[in-house]
Structure 1
């Protein structure tokens, strides 16, 4: 095992992949429980498809992908939040509409301009081994912002997760906390698309939280368990991908699903006993 780890970390691209993946997995695990409990789980899926559309536009325009993806995905997160609160359109329908439109737009732009090639697969399913030094530095900066913001405003995020009315009543505007949660989610989605791709990034947000909720009942315990599960599944998934030459994003997602099945079975057995 030690020989395998030494071999893996002897490659700079593997070291960058581990650092980026660990940071993104940590951020996703922090935000996942709040998103699931607030029934915002599908927002991650919608934002990832918007991210794919912006990456496709950046490819066609020959510009840096993140310069387009970050602002557009953040604005879309705010828009989805406002639609959920004020629109007569059902939230899940709004997310499905924006998600489908963004995915279709991205595929159409790439198909018309450069043709369907391997870059499309990289956007859809991730290419973590291609992380550059600049992307690593950007991921470190934005991940630390997400982590520090979550820790600093933890009590507000906890409050809006369970009772927005009470949050407003005690003088803490729920709107600000909602916007902050949307901002952190958008940043995590954009950073995680390199790891998991547009089709699988939402699994980092949703599945660890759902898995932890099978066993734990407190908010803090669910977050801590989600973090441990997310880090374990990422490290094990990347190692399996390296050894067996399997797709990284798919390997990580399948490990998350296996963990969910195990936790779910454990809960059922405990209930019967």
Structure 2
């Protein structure tokens, strides 16, 4: 493709591939804990961070990382103390974040209001070399944490009480998940946007679950699907002149549909093969005297 010769397209693909790899690696733990929508809540808090950056003429990415991290850690501590249930804490995070973001962006100038769309729905073609550096470093840190701490994080997400009895640092691991979720959301807002970033964490995992068994296999398949959806999404959006973030999510949903159909076909084949053969009556034997 001729478009790949342009530096901005090369940066766009690199950024998308990094997020496509890191987001499902984190998302599988969120799905395991039944927190599939936490990315949406933190995305709305990150919107407040973007508003702070636009209002103060600072880097919206950095302020979004800071505000989203504080919000994520705060919700995790509230949930841990048991004063507020997880879903209620998430709702408070969800509504408070979007309300704060709208107010702060409204206080900024009209140019900032126009730039807000880049963070809500993504803007890969405007990814700068500095953005690539930030996305690459933070994405690599998230990916390394998810892979290196996989046994401990799996135990935590599968049974928190068991993890605590086993001597694992439960609070530290919970805060680590909260921080990495906030970081992933904020670095992905330039690729798929704050309103769609949660989909890239959850949909590849849901697709992988249709065709794999076991946590390790599902994690590997989810990362592969996320990588494929991100790469194909950018290329298709460039050819069709569509929004890269939305196109990437549609590619992930297409993968989910394909794996769902493939899983159903495979299960039907196994069911047919496992059926015992129908016994048939032997032919009549004619005796000649």
2:20 is matched with 25
Q: Across the two proteins, how many residue pairs are aligned to each other?
A: 268
Question: Of 213, 216, 221, which aligns to 2:212?
Answer: 216
Q: What's the offset of the Cα at 1:212?
A: 0.8
2:139 is matched with 143
1:44-101 deviations in whole A, cap 9, x for unaligned?
1111111112112211111111331112111111122223332343322221222122
RMSD: 1.6
The DSSP-based 3-state class of the residue aligned with 1:230 is helix
- Alignment gaps of 5+ in structure 2: 270-289
Question: Of 77, 89, 105, which aligns to 1:94?
Answer: 89
CA distance in 1, matches of 2:164, 2:89: 26
- Alignment gaps of 5+ in structure 1: none
Q: Does 1:65 align with 2:60?
A: yes
> Whose Rg is larger?
2
CA distance in 1, matches of 2:96, 2:177: 24
Judge which range, 188-197 or 135-144, deviates more.
135-144
Any runs of at least 4 consecutive aligned residues in structure 1 with deviations exceeding 4 A, and if so which?
none
CA distance in 1, matches of 2:124, 2:83: 39
CA distance in 2, matches of 1:164, 1:93: 19
Judge which range, 160-169 or 217-226, deviates more.
160-169
Q: Does 1:168 align with 2:164?
A: yes
CA distance in 2, matches of 1:172, 1:104: 37
CA distance in 2, matches of 1:145, 1:113: 33
The DSSP-based 3-state class of the residue aligned with 2:189 is helix
Question: Of 1, 8, 17, which aligns to 2:3?
Answer: 8
Contact 2:54 2:108 in 1 (8 A): no
Q: Does 1:56 align with 2:51?
A: yes
Q: After superposition, where does 1:75-224 map in structure 2 within 5 Å?
A: 75-115=70-110, 117-224=113-220
Contact 2:26 2:181 in 1 (8 A): yes
CA distance in 1, matches of 2:117, 2:59: 18
1:18-68 deviations in whole A, cap 9, x for unaligned?
111111111111111110010121111111111112112211111111331
CA distance in 2, matches of 1:39, 1:82: 17
Contact 1:42 1:92 in 2 (8 A): no
Instruction: Give the structure with the larger helix fraction.
Output: 1
- Alpha-carbon distance change, 90 to 165 in structure 1, aligned in 2, over 3 angstroms: closer
Judge which range, 168-177 or 231-240, deviates more.
168-177
Judge which range, 61-70 or 29-38, deviates more.
61-70
CA distance in 2, matches of 1:152, 1:66: 26
Report the TM-score, using the length of structure 2 for normalisation.
0.87
CA distance in 2, matches of 1:148, 1:33: 14
CA distance in 2, matches of 1:97, 1:156: 29
1:99-134 deviations in whole A, cap 9, x for unaligned?
122112222322343248431221210111111111
